[in-house]
Structure 1
């Protein structure tokens, strides 16, 4: 099985171009926003575009729920595709999806700027921001089976496969997700810090949590987490436990994590 990825910021037209790119790469399956799509048929999954919040949409797209993930893995095993195309907003995101769905390592990452012009990307962003229009790379019939209230209209995409003279077409669905009508959702840095601090303070062996700093990058956040530890325990074990806890807290918030750097600054007697 060969695995590819299409990466680009949200709203830049990845889903719109997914069917054509999958055909060029000979990929029978597209993984997009929590769905497993095989040649215009939804095999499994729950679309992130049905989530009531943006945070919920991120968690769905990353297959964070065990039942959702297991369903997707089983669907991939049943259809046994020779090629898979994963869509995501960052390299880290598509790599997480591949790992969670037990797929081989990604062979090649294609970036949206490689296959779409700046003008096309601007137009896609405008439609997303002003009209709340999102694309699902599957026919309207597939989408409306479980999502009748969000369909805007079907769109036909014409393309030509490599090595073929015959042009073909595929149908996509333009939808308006529930969360677009509720306004934007953002998580402030103080809220993130408070969430980490509260739970890390409960870890046995942690006496205090220092001033947490968070750096935001294009692909995720880097957290610097200083703690005061209780003397008389394996510090490397405590450090790993705190690091894993902070990482899981952020992931459950739907935040992509680049690194969690834990520093044991002080030791105190119990």
Structure 2
């Protein structure tokens, strides 16, 4: 089985692009955000778009949970797949996914910057940051409508320049992204209010005092800090594991070189002894 990877920053249109890319290169299977998709149908896995926090979404996307990874591995074995496309935000991420699902190594990397124009990427980023739109590359009809009633915005068809339908995708607004957008809007409103107060400080002769509950503000900030710390700890852990295995391999190679050198020295010593004492060589 050939394994391909599509790499690009978050919100740059990877999920939508993956359908046309897979069709162009005749790739029947896709791994995207925790889902195993085969010929346009959701076969196994759980989408990271349904998680409530950013850190939980990341863990879901990289198949951090053994049960989740095993269910997709079992499904992969049940299908005759000759090629598969793995989507991720970085080379490190797709390599982690491939390792967890045991479908490596990666034969070829595609990069979103080589497929879409800078204008198309910026448009996709704007849609993500301002409207919180995320794409799942399967039809909304394949999901439980009772469960997704509040998440699904609409389904759209992906069409080629020749007006041929490729597939239908589902657009959702994940809860964790809605929280992020709300936080950004709240911070923006606070900055505007602060600027307005500073600009119009002498508009009214009456003095207005705004009481700020410091405890309440700190309580709002704690979940944001916890998510940030968890993400950083997870990144540090992955880096440590990466360097651990790298150093382990280097130490093993160094040991082999040292043993080869030692064997060479012993052979040389025996040859000298043989020349002096006419001893039979035992190596």
Report what 1:76 is aligned to.
Answer: 76
Displacement of 1:187: 5.4
Classify the secondary structure of the residue corresponding to 2:148: coil
Secondary structure, in 3 states, of the residue corresponding to 1:106?
coil
* Residue 13 in structure 1 maps to residue 10 in structure 2: no
1:93 aligns with 2:93: yes
Which runs of no fewer than 5 residues in structure 2 stay unpaired? 184-222, 248-283
Is 2:20–2:166's contact at 8 Å kept on the other side of the alignment?
Answer: no
Q: Secondary structure at the match of 2:78?
A: helix
* Paired residues of 1:98 and 1:105 also in contact (CA < 8 A): yes
Residue from 176, 180, 188 that aligns with 1:179: 176
CA distance change for structure 1 residues 168 and 191 in 2, over 3 Å: closer, same or farther? closer
How many residues in Structure 1 have an aligned counterpart in Structure 2?
204
Give the deviation of 1:24 after TM superposition.
1.3
- Distance of 1:6 and 1:256 partners within structure 2: 25
Identify the structure with the greater helix proportion. 2
Cα drift, residue 178 of structure 1: 1.2
Task: Decide whether the 8 Å contact of 1:143 with 1:173 is kept in 2.
Answer: no
**Superposed CA offset, 1:77-122 (max 9, x none):** 1112111000000001101111110103110000000100000000
TM-score (norm 1): 0.68
Partner of 1:153: 154
SS at 1:23 equivalent? helix
Gap change, CA 1:189 and 1:21, over 3 Å in 2: closer
Distance across 1 between alignment mates of 2:106 and 2:240: 18
Two-structure CA RMSD over aligned residues (Å): 3.0
Separation (CA, whole Å) in 2 of partners of 1:116 and 1:256: 34
Structure 1 runs of 4+ off > 6 angstroms?
none
Matches within 5 A, 1:47-126: 47-126=47-126
- Cα 1:257–1:26 change in 2 (3 A) is farther
- Residues 16 and 35 of structure 1, relative CA distance in 2, 3 Å threshold: same
Q: Which residue of 1 aligns with 2:39?
A: 39
Shift of 1:35: 0.3
Instruction: Give 1 or 2: higher strand fraction.
Output: 1
SS at match of 1:182: helix
- Aligned equivalents of 1:48 and 1:94: distance in 2? 15
TM-superposed CA distance for 1:169, in Å, is 2.6
Rounded Cα–Cα distance in structure 2 between residues aligned with 1:189 and 1:55: 6
**Aligned-pair CA distance for 1:259:** 4.0
Q: Structure 2 length normalisation: TM-score?
A: 0.65
Q: Does structure 1 conserve the Cα–Cα contact (< 8 Å) formed by 2:155 and 2:171?
A: yes
